[in-house]
Amino acid sequence: MATTRGAIATLIALGLALQLGCASTPQQAQGTGPGSAVPQSVPIPPQTGPTVGQRAAGALQGAMMGAMIGATGGPIGMGVGAVALLVYGAVTAGNPMGGGMGGGGGGGYPGGAYPSQGGAVEAQSEDALDKEINADVAKQDTLENDIAAELRRQEELLKQIDQDQAKSKKPESKPKVTRKQLQAALDPRAAPKAPPERNLPASLFEEQVRTIPKHQWGNKRPLVVKERSLDADRDGAPEEIRYYDAKTGVILRKEEDRNYDGSIDSWSTYENGILSRIERDNTDDGKPDEWLTYGPDGRMTERQVDRDGNGTKDAFFFYKAGSLVEERHDGDGDGRIDRVVHYRNRHITQTEEDTNGDGKMDTITHFVLAGGKEIVDRVERDTTGDGKPDTFEKYEQLAGKTTLKERGEDKNGDGKIDIRSIYAKGKLKQREISDPALMPL
């Protein structure tokens, strides 16, 4: 507010001073012009002080000097300095920093002194100028106060409107997330979505055109690409490099330094601009140990992992229609699968295991759903290693535990049960032997 008032006062004073200075023409000063208030027949005594024009010039110079000096105090200081030295220059018609304009140096008069008559006329002009300046400043103060009051009133009105709207507006009802929906979103057996692409402006990247040699990315021919690299931390090692087809502008490949250690640890491949494959180095040894494949819908279709870092993949996950359908594992690191898990509707239905490490699956476990949980229903075992099950077990749930209910054994490998054992609460209750050769003596 003070800044505005000071600036306006400066402008008013300058305008009045310039008007008065311009109005004092030589003819009016001498009383011979058409606008003179003194009859031409009466001689006009010479002036005893600075003329109005000199005062206006002094006011203008003082205002400019005051504004420059006050600028060190900011806008308020500029306004205060301009007004103070303007008044000084208007009254004295002198340069506030030294050197008179019509005062101490006697500018325009012989001998450096003003004549002794006519001082009353000039004093009246000064008084009129001061009164007009003060009146205009007072009016401006009143106007600014009125404006400030109106602004405060409008601000209070806007706050009241906002409060009324907040009271009358009903809170938006958010759709409730059901337990089933939440479980589906967090289900580890759901196919993960492809990681979202960061939409970064091209201006952040450094771009160059280069040629990718044949077979470097598995490409059958050399590729001319636009390479865009982003070094956000300015350490000389880019955190992300994108490769685009130089002709079509379609993205082909992306390399990333995910942990900002200066080494690339993720390589993404695109087909027709859509992410299709990611290779990751999760152990920082410079070699991929995880391979992710995605379908056109952005859902994962396959995941392969080298868990022990020996350079051989030992875990495989397969997805279909957005759900996990099969797992394959090499648990002993011998390069052969020793456990397979099958899923239907994201629930385990069957597992196959090589329990003796001979490379053949010898145990098959079947599962059923009971109370939303997967429980063992029956187990088939190959105890002879001929690739055919010869022992069949059935289970039941007792007090929340999986308990053996019945076991059938094919001892001679003819595909028929020779010994049937019945259990009650996990303990043998009855045994039936159909082959007399197996009867105890």
Structure confidence by residue, pLDDT tens digits, 391-440: 999 999 999 899 999 999 999 889 999 999 999 998 999 999 887 777 66
Matching residue, tokens 């003003």: 114
pLDDT in the model for residue 106? 41
- CA separation for the pair 31, 19 (Å, rounded): 19
Residue 302 contacts residue 318 (beta carbons within 8 Å): yes
Domain definitions of the chain by residue range: 2-149
Strands 401-409 and 206-212 turn out to be: unpaired
- CA separation for the pair 104, 89 (Å, rounded): 13
Q: Which residues contact 205 (CB under 8 A, 6 or more apart)?
A: 228, 229, 230, 242
CA distances from 180 to 186, 372, 406, 417 (A): 10, 12, 36, 44
- Tokens of residue 124, six digits: 């009246």
Tell me the average confidence (pLDDT) per consecutive run of 10 residues in the chain, 441 residues long.
48 48 44 44 52 68 68 62 64 58 43 48 71 74 75 78 69 65 78 93 94 94 96 92 96 96 96 97 95 97 95 96 97 94 97 95 96 94 94 94 95 91 94 79 55
pLDDT in the model for residue 101? 45
Question: Is residue 163 helix, strand or coil?
Answer: helix
Angle value at C-alpha 289, between 284 and 292, nearest 5 degrees: 125
- CA separation for the pair 275, 268 (Å, rounded): 7
pLDDT in the model for residue 209? 97
pLDDT in the model for residue 232? 87
pLDDT in the model for residue 168? 66
Structure confidence by residue, pLDDT tens digits, 30-82: 444 444 444 444 444 455 556 666 766 766 776 677 666 666 666 666 666 66
- CA separation for the pair 262, 22 (Å, rounded): 75
Among candidates 12, 236, 28, which has minimal Cα distance to 121?
28
- CA separation for the pair 13, 20 (Å, rounded): 11
